[in-house]
Amino acid sequence: MKFHEWRRAPHFSPAGFLRWALFWSLLHGALALAGARRCTSVLALTYPEGMGKDLAAMLGLGYVLTHIVFVVFVPTLVLAASLWAAWMRFRRNRAARPEAAP
Amino acid sequence: MRRVRDGLLFLLLAAALWIPCLRFAFPVDPASLPSAPGVSTFARALANRHLALWSDPASRARELDRMRGSNAEWDFMGRTYLVLAIVNMVLREPALATRALPVVDTILTETLALEERHGFYHFSMAYARGAPYRAQPPRSLFVDGEIALMLGARLVVGDDGRWRARFDERVMQVTERLTRGPTLCAESYPDECWTFDHATALAALRVADAVFGTDHSELCTRWVAMARRTLVEAKTGLLISEFHYDGTPLDGPEGSSLWMAAHALALVDPEFAREQYERARANLRVSIFGFDFAREWPAECPGTNDIDSGLVIPLLGASPASSGLAFLAASTFGDHEFHLGLLRSLEFAAFPQRTDGTLSYAASNQVGDAALLYSAVLGPLWDAVRKRSWR
């Protein structure tokens, strides 16, 4: 599958699932690079130094949310995409198989 | 439409395969449990962070200021848990005394100096000054009880002559306040008494009996009888968290109070403490595919979240404070299944930070990490006190 086909694939398709998995992984990675991990102390109502409380809460809770998605849903999406693609290939191969001679 | 249906089916299938396996992505080491002898690698790494913090005044001030910005009590409780943890570590591994006991002495010296300079209000929330205390002159059982417990714990591992008189004086103050109150209770805030603080104060009296050979058993027995009679919530059988000076309930049972109360009462009345633990476990523990956490309020008695609860996660109802203190209770009562589940959740959702042999959790703070350290080493101090005193 070419990149532009993958990019335009429907949300509910193996490629669409992989696209969502990539999106959430990149978002989580970006938040980690932005230093949002240290802001998760907002869960204990303790705020990092040198940062406004609102920004810290937004980054911290955003990090927690994307972490849960990254750990729970991203592997689920990848696994679902793999299983679905394998199932589609299996059905295609079966349909393409010539009819057995009588 | 068929595509959406197929997609949902494969998502469900994938979730059914992946989610039960998630626990294996966050392995926990049973050697981290305090039932193992000595000091585990896990506890050592947590302790290294605290010992480094208390050896560096600038880092310590920064860390404590962050907590005090939300709640001055946490600064104080972080000290208590760290002192208790260090004493237990020294009892487990006496060679640690040379490095660790000076930190205990520093904490005690600084804490007493701060209290002397600013009054107990330094370690209380602002509303402590908002109204007059019913018992005059004002004192806080929260501060007196924990200072007494810290001093007593220090004396269990050695007496260099500095702390004995201070401990004796504090024990007398606690006893006087408890016996003066109309229901064997003392205030921590104006007309506000906390079960957490009473359990801690009674544990300190028990430590005093071990250190001085005194006997506070009658007071302890009377307090437990009073608590069974007036401080137990009817539906759950759990101790309520706060009440007025005359014993009128202010709030229902609350995880962030109950777990610690059960831990401290294990030294005072083991049977009552275990009963409270079992009830709290039944009402507050949540376990999902090997990941455990604790709610702040039992389903039957919902309450309003406050600064003590931490930021409660919506839908799940997971309370960071209740879950953190559940470590203490699970550890005290040797509940390995719950303890390991809590540790797994910690690895999953508290974001461990390991650097240069130290361990801390990004989603926690100093008091949370100190309580966690204490839960990883507790046992020997309570055992030593039990051996030396009345029961």
B109 backbone dihedrals φ, ψ, rounded to 5°: -60, -50
What integer pLDDT is reported at residue B205 of this predicted model? 98
Cα gap B198→B273, rounded to integer Å: 13
Is the confidence at residue A42, as pLDDT, over 70? yes
Secondary structure of residue A13 in the 3-state scheme: coil
Of the candidates B333, B324, B332, the one whose C-alpha atom is nearest the C-alpha of residue B292 is B324
Residues, chain B, total?
A: 391
What integer pLDDT is reported at residue A51 of this predicted model? 87
Q: Report CB contact under 8 Å: B14, A77.
A: yes
Give yes or no for a contact between B325 and B260, defined as CB atoms under 8 angstroms apart: yes
Q: Which of B8, B10, B12, B307 best tests the A interface by mutation, with the highest count of A CBs <10 A?
A: B10
What integer pLDDT is reported at residue A1 of this predicted model? 66
* Run of H or E including B292: strand B291-294
What integer pLDDT is reported at residue A102 of this predicted model? 52
Q: At what angle do helices B270-284 and B217-230 cross, to 10 degrees?
A: 30
| Residue B318, strand partner residues | B295, B313
Is the confidence at residue A101, as pLDDT, over 80? no
Residue segments in chain B with a per-residue pLDDT below the cut of 50:
none
Give, as one character, the DSSP assignment of residue A39.
Answer: G
Q: Report CB contact under 8 Å: B311, A79.
A: no
Judge residue B165's burial from the number of C-beta atoms within 10 Å of its C-beta, 0-12 exposed, 13-18 middle, 19 or more buried: exposed
In this complex, which of B6, B15, B17 lies closest to A84 when CB atoms are compared?
Answer: B6
A15 touching B (Cβ < 8 Å) = no
**Does the interface predicted TM-score (ipTM) exceed 0.85?**
yes
What integer pLDDT is reported at residue B347 of this predicted model? 95
Q: How far is B179 from chain A (nearest CA, A)?
A: 36
Judge residue A26's burial from the number of C-beta atoms within 10 Å of its C-beta, 0-12 exposed, 13-18 middle, 19 or more buried: exposed
Q: How far is B331 from chain A (nearest CA, A)?
A: 21
Nearest chain B residue to A16, by CA = B7
Nearest chain A residue to B8, by CA = A12
| Residue B353, strand partner residues | B360
Peptide bond into B102 cis (omega under 30): no
B141 CA to centre of own chain:
15
Chain B residues with CB inside 8 Å of A68's CB?
349
Count chain A–chain B contacts defined by CB atoms under 8 A.
91
What integer pLDDT is reported at residue A6 of this predicted model? 78
Cα gap B283→B298, rounded to integer Å: 5
3-state helix, strand, coil in chain A (%, to 5): 75, 0, 25
pLDDT confidence of A100, banded at 50, 70, 90?
low
What integer pLDDT is reported at residue B150 of this predicted model? 98
B316 touching A (Cβ < 8 Å) = no
* Run of H or E including B286: strand B285-288
Q: Report CB contact under 8 Å: A43, B310.
A: yes
What integer pLDDT is reported at residue A99 of this predicted model? 63
A93 touching B (Cβ < 8 Å) = no
Q: CA angle at residue B377 from B375 to B383, to 5 degrees? A: 105
